[in-house]
Amino acid sequence: MDNNHVLALFDRQMRRDAPPESPTTRVDRLDGVVRQVGTGPHEWCGVLWSDLDETTADAAIGAQLEWLGTAEAAEREFEWKTYAHDRPADLGERLRAAGFTPEPAETLMVGDIAEVIARTEGAALPAGVRLEPVTDAAGVDLAAAVHEQAFGTSAERLRARMLDQIAERGDTVSIVVAMAGDEPVCAARMEFCPGTEFAGLWGGGTVERWRGKGIYRALVAHRARLAQAAGYGYLQVDASDQSRPILQRLGFAALSVTTPYLITAPA
């Protein structure tokens, strides 16, 4: 895989030219900034891409803060999703100075689907573990329970978002839970982006006592086959330090580092 080519393709398709992710989402293409605005209560809102320099960055940040002061933006959580290769080099420092708070950085990893499938050939679930597709609220509750156990954080917002996704975007979202009897032990989702070559892997997490048994690997293999069947060429992941080495063994390459900067609009 030509990493530079794929990173440029990702920037173009998934950031600069990104389509709306749902019927209730719009994309605003502004001067040097692409902003997504989800009008639903649980949809993401923020900056996907920017093309700025030392002379234009502060004005662009100020324009977003001005929009956050409008009635449309009231009380929204707003994310400026930066990447290490974005310009200017001190964009993060400028965002902090403007009142944004950085969240933990993650590694942008991309895998050629054919390579990922080749490297996960034979990946199997442990005996007694099966995969169940999530298609209703009961399944969402199972996936949310895994998230809380695996990451130790509340899944309240994630649960609401998944409910919206299966209700409104069932053809572009795939959520799966690995079950050991009646116990959910791993969960993950995949979001297809029509019109692009990328499918995104999100939320992969395994309950601690079930780690090291190949379940996460099997879920990556499962989603890679689904994405290939749907005509996609690449899988994209915002990887934590915990999942990065696993994904590298499965054929994913680290292309950049992404850091979200958050701010909440005033009421």
Q: In whole angstroms, how far apart are CA 33 and each of 17, 52, 59? A: 11, 8, 11
Q: Region 44-73: what's the mean pLDDT? A: 96
- Specify whether 79 is located in the same domain as 174: no
- Specify whether 156 is located in the same domain as 209: yes
Dist CA 175 CA 203 (whole Å)? 9
- Specify whether 90 is located in the same domain as 210: no
Task: Give the model's pLDDT for residue 40.
Answer: 75
Question: In Å, how far from its chain's centre is CA 119?
Answer: 23
pLDDT at residue 41 is higher than 80: no
CATH number for the domain spanning 199: value is 3.40.630.30
- Specify whether 203 is located in the same domain as 115: yes
**Preceding amide of 88 cis, omega within 30:** yes
- Specify whether 44 is located in the same domain as 74: yes
Domain extent, residue 94, equals 3-107+258-264
Task: Give the model's pLDDT for residue 234.
Answer: 98
pLDDT at residue 170 is higher than 80: no
Domain total in the chain: 2
Opening angle at CA 235, ends 230 and 236, nearest 5? 135
- Specify whether 170 is located in the same domain as 70: no
- Specify whether 75 is located in the same domain as 123: no
pLDDT at residue 204 is higher than 90: no
- Specify whether 140 is located in the same domain as 98: no
DSSP-derived secondary structure for 162-231: HHHHHHH-TTTEEEEEEEETTEEEEEEEEEE-TTSSEEEEEEEEE-GGGTTSSHHHHHHHHHHHHHHHTT
CATH number for the domain spanning 76: value is 3.40.630
- Specify whether 128 is located in the same domain as 235: yes
**pLDDT, tens digit, 9 for 90 and up, residues 86-121:** 999 999 999 999 999 999 999 999 999 999 999 999
- Specify whether 228 is located in the same domain as 131: yes
| pTM score | 0.93
Token pair recorded at residue 25:
């989402």
Q: Region 175-194: what's the mean pLDDT? A: 96
Reported as a pLDDT band with limits 50, 70 and 90, residue 24 is: confident
pLDDT at residue 248 is higher than 90: yes
- Specify whether 73 is located in the same domain as 155: no
pLDDT at residue 215 is higher than 80: yes
Dist CA 74 CA 83 (whole Å)? 26
| Residue 34 amino acid letter | V
Dist CA 230 CA 171 (whole Å)? 11
Q: Are 36 and 21 in contact (CB under 8 A)?
A: yes
- Specify whether 167 is located in the same domain as 216: yes
